Amino acid sequence: MAYSEQVLDHYENPRNVGKMDEQDAHVGTGMVGAPACGDVMRLQIKVNDSGVIEDAKFKTYGCGSAIASSSLVTEWMKGMTLDQAGEIRNSNISEELALPPVKIHCSVLAEDAIKAAIHDYKSKQ
């Protein structure tokens, strides 16, 4: 399979790889997917008191497109408010990365991870 330049770039140089303390009240964690399906994304956001995402980290088990999708959204989310981040759609991700139809589910998973992380953060407040 041929990969787009954008996917290759994120795959070769993934942004914001890492892990934050899940217990921290300022951190929201979203873990989506399943090993049996071949992809698991863990997306974490650190939100300041004015509701702005200060930092985002990810780790992903999955194909190159899944890694690139999660890497891309960590870049996008930094500096966004929770509401803005909640508006990121899988179509934005798949467009930016030029994902082929068989890889659209990777961008769907990334959107799910964003929602799960926001939900986790809100439920802690």
Whether residue 63 lies in the annotated active site: no
**DSSP H or E stretch at residue 44:** strand 39-47
Binding test (CB under 8 A) with other proteins, winner from 64, 72, 97, 117: 64
Query: For 12, phi and psi rounded to 5 degrees?
Result: -70, -40
Closest distance of CB 39 from other proteins, Å: 7
Q: Residue 8 corresponds to which tokens in the numbers above?
A: 């290759």
Regarding 102 and contact with other proteins (CB under 8 A), the answer is: yes
The Cα 114–Cα 79 span in angstroms is 14
Report CA-CA distances (Å) from 115 to 56, 91, 106. 13, 15, 15
Closest distance of CB 88 from other proteins, Å: 17
Binding test (CB under 8 A) with other proteins, winner from 27, 105, 111, 118: 105
Q: Which is nearer to other proteins, 26 or 59 (CB)?
A: 59
Catalytic residue ranges: 37, 106
